[in-house]
Chain A
Amino acid sequence: MRNSINYLVTVASVLLPLVLAQTAAGATLTVCKTCALTSVKQAVQQAKPGDTVLVNGGVYQESRIEVNKPLTLIGKNNPVIDGNFTGQLIAVTADDVTIQGLTLKNVATSYTRDDAAIRVFQRSNIKLLDNTILKTYFGIYLQNSDNIVIRGNNIIGENKGRTESSLGNAIHLYYTDNVEITDNNVQGHRDGIYLEVVKNSQVRNNVSHQNMRYGMHFMFSDGNTYTHNTFRNNGAGVAVMYTNNVRMEYNTFEENWGAASYGLLLKDISNSVIHHNTFRRNTTAIHMESSSQLDIKSNDFERNGWAIKLMTTCIEDTFRLNNFTGNSFDVSTNGSIQENHFEHNYWDKYTGYDLDKDQQGDVPYRPVSLYSMLVERVPPSVMFMRSFMVDLLDSIEKVLPSFIPDQLIDEQPLMRRIDHQAV
């Protein structure tokens, strides 16, 4: 009984403001082909602050819509706003704006104006929900704003036969705080999600694929959390730079395959957490430089070319409880000095034994092979991959290590693959 009362109170407290907002604060203006209002621009101009503009199904050939008062712009029955490559579609110049359920398409490349489907400048409390954005230069472009929700948008560009510089980013954020980016699908742009100086934000459940450059790219964006995202088949993978206090968990990085491609590039990242991610079939799963105090735990590295490229500029990074299976090279590095720590990982190339049956190998494992060092130092020697001599040298070095960095060692490798799903 008490529960149901609680429930009622909750429902009421959620619904009441909504109902009040609908009835008391604002009227609803409907736009359709046969209504009094036949263009979205007209409706937005006539609306008063707090009103709702309901756009009904149909194709509206317009652009440069300026939302300059708090409005809720909702699409019903899949309305399409087609810009016909005449400029930016929607510019938001007021706080408290919601744009939902619209299909926005056709924005031309504009090198000087950075035209986008939806652009927000110096505003707060903006919600962009369930929109479809097709063939635009930038998809969603926000700068100097805060308290933003970007949820459920499907942003698809066309990058076939185009150069990197003639493409914009699907979701582009600059100096924007408290952002929630969830459940979006972004593809076919330059960068899928681009964050520059974005703080205290959440990036969750997004799928970013087939972008020309990076699936996700962020710089100077401290204190953010990235979880359950999938980055697949992007030109160069995911690049994160000059940031600290980042959490990256349960993400999937896959099929970033190509001569200059990697799953995750970490440059100058510190004090961050990389847990429970899956790296599958990337040329380089993680490339790390100048990164310190990272906790890399419980990740799966499957069938990558290089699982980890660890430059000697990285210090105090910890690699624990990760699975390394089917990678051509597990770890490669460019020098002998190592101040990083490996423990309790599972390596499928480990050939040691476990006499006391504590599930930990009794002999340490050295994940860096002689050949991977050689390739790092003399790149042309990669042409001798799969040569019998190379395998022989690696085996000899494994028995009698003399060249490979002796500090880079897993003292207690696990005998069995860790099942991260079960944990």
Chain B
Amino acid sequence: MGKIIKYVFYDIVRNKIVLAYTAFLLLLTIGLFSLGGNPDKAVLSLLNLVLLTVPLISIVFATTHFYNSYEFIELLVAQPIHRRKIFMSEYLGVACSLAGAFVLGVGMPLLLLGASVTGLYLLLTGVLITFIFVGMAFLASVITRDKAKGIGVALLLWFYFALIYDGIVLFILYSFSDYPLETPTLVLTALNPIDLARIIVLLNMDISALMGYTGALYKSILGSLWGISLAFGLMVVWILVPVLSSRRIFSRRDL
């Protein structure tokens, strides 16, 4: 398994996209920190990056990578190696290299230029988001053999979680505005990893004062160690569900 991960990793580094991604993140982070002057503001802008760009790049890159290495996977399947192992090494190889790029590109300047608890949370959620969306990409790729279709599904997933979901929830909140909505909002945000990540970071910034009663409720839940572990636990569930289900599909289907 370690050998396959190593090979996947070399393959990814060789095609230079991940290197470009690292450089892009590095430049952007340093730029934001040197431009704003206020580290809090830079973290806020970085949050938007983590919530939009990181999922998009993770999901598109992982899908194309999976289809591009289809022949290699077929070769491996012909060997006496368990399919689960092949799948997990592919997943870990891609996810770890993207997460590594994120940690290098965002984490390093963040810790050097504006180390704070919020920054640490941002970094952690960014890594988790990478793992989640690579998992979703693999799910999209094992569902269909057709590359175009797979990328389409992946993009739709991104579109849904990054954009449409919030719109739907806002519409629901608006339609049921006569009811107490604090707890439903809590549940609804837990159903979207991007919202979960956003709230974990926002509640740790002083902007949380703007969030009034609902924010106070969230803060009382997420502010405790138990709550914050619950939030991160939920994000881990968001990694496990797509990865395990796609592994199951991969090990059973006819390639």
A residues in contact (CB < 8 Å) with B: 257-261, 283, 305-306, 328, 374, 377-390, 392-393
CB distance from B19 to the nearest CB of A (A): 27
Instruction: Report the Cα distance A306→B212, complex, angstroms.
Output: 12
B residues in contact (CB < 8 Å) with A: 44, 47-48, 51-52, 162-164, 166-167, 169-170, 173-174, 177, 181-182, 184-185, 189, 195, 198-199, 202, 206-207, 209-216, 218
Instruction: Report the Cα distance A306→B207, complex, angstroms.
Output: 11
Tell me if B163 and A383 are in contact (CB < 8 A): no
When distances are taken between beta carbons in the complex, the residues of chain B under 8 Å from A305 are 207, 209-210
Instruction: Report the Cα distance A283→B215, complex, angstroms.
Output: 13
CB distance from A391 to the nearest CB of B (A): 9
Instruction: Report the Cα distance A379→B198, complex, angstroms.
Output: 18
Instruction: Report the Cα distance A328→B184, complex, angstroms.
Output: 25
A382 in complex: contacting residue of B47, B198, B211, CB < 8 Å: B211
When distances are taken between beta carbons in the complex, the residues of chain A under 8 Å from B195 are 383-384, 387
Instruction: Report the Cα distance A378→B213, complex, angstroms.
Output: 12
Instruction: Report the Cα distance A390→B209, complex, angstroms.
Output: 19
Tell me if B211 and A389 are in contact (CB < 8 A): no
Q: Which residue of A lies closest to B177 (CB)?
A: A378
Instruction: Report the Cα distance A390→B195, complex, angstroms.
Output: 12
When distances are taken between beta carbons in the complex, the residues of chain B under 8 Å from A385 are 202, 207, 210-211
A388 in complex: contacting residue of B162, B173, B182, B185, CB < 8 Å: B162
Tell me if B211 and A259 are in contact (CB < 8 A): yes
Tell me if A389 and B209 are in contact (CB < 8 A): no
Tell me if B210 and A383 are in contact (CB < 8 A): no
Instruction: Report the Cα distance A392→B189, complex, angstroms.
Output: 19
A259-B216, A382-B212 known; A389 and B163 CB under 8 Å? yes
Q: Which residue of A lies closest to B216 (CB)?
A: A259
When distances are taken between beta carbons in the complex, the residues of chain B under 8 Å from A384 are 166, 169-170, 195
When distances are taken between beta carbons in the complex, the residues of chain A under 8 Å from B202 are 385-386
Residue pairs across A and B with Cβ atoms less than 8 A apart, 21 shown, are A257-B209, A258-B209, A259-B212, A306-B210, A374-B170, A378-B174, A378-B181, A379-B213, A380-B184, A381-B174, A383-B195, A383-B215, A384-B166, A384-B169, A385-B202, A385-B207, A385-B211, A386-B198, A386-B202, A389-B170, A393-B167
Instruction: Report the Cα distance A374→B164, complex, angstroms.
Output: 17
Instruction: Report the Cα distance A386→B194, complex, angstroms.
Output: 12
Tell me if A388 and B166 are in contact (CB < 8 A): yes
Q: Which residue of A lies closest to B168 (CB)?
A: A389
Instruction: Report the Cα distance A392→B216, complex, angstroms.
Output: 26
A390 in complex: contacting residue of B166, B215, B218, CB < 8 Å: B166
Tell me if B163 and A380 are in contact (CB < 8 A): no
When distances are taken between beta carbons in the complex, the residues of chain B under 8 Å from A392 are 163
A283 in complex: contacting residue of B166, B167, B210, CB < 8 Å: B210
A381 in complex: contacting residue of B164, B170, B199, CB < 8 Å: B170
CB distance from A274 to the nearest CB of B (A): 23
A380 in complex: contacting residue of B48, B173, B206, CB < 8 Å: B173
Tell me if B198 and A387 are in contact (CB < 8 A): yes
Sample of 6 more A-B contacts, CB < 8 Å, known A383-B195, A383-B215, A385-B202? A259-B216, A374-B174, A378-B181, A380-B184, A386-B44, A389-B163
Tell me if B48 and A259 are in contact (CB < 8 A): no
Tell me if A387 and B166 are in contact (CB < 8 A): yes
A283-B209, A305-B209, A386-B198 known; A379 and B214 CB under 8 Å? yes
Instruction: Report the Cα distance A260→B216, complex, angstroms.
Output: 10
When distances are taken between beta carbons in the complex, the residues of chain A under 8 Å from B216 are 259
The 5 closest A-B pairs by CB, nearest first: A389-B166, A380-B185, A305-B210, A378-B177, A380-B181
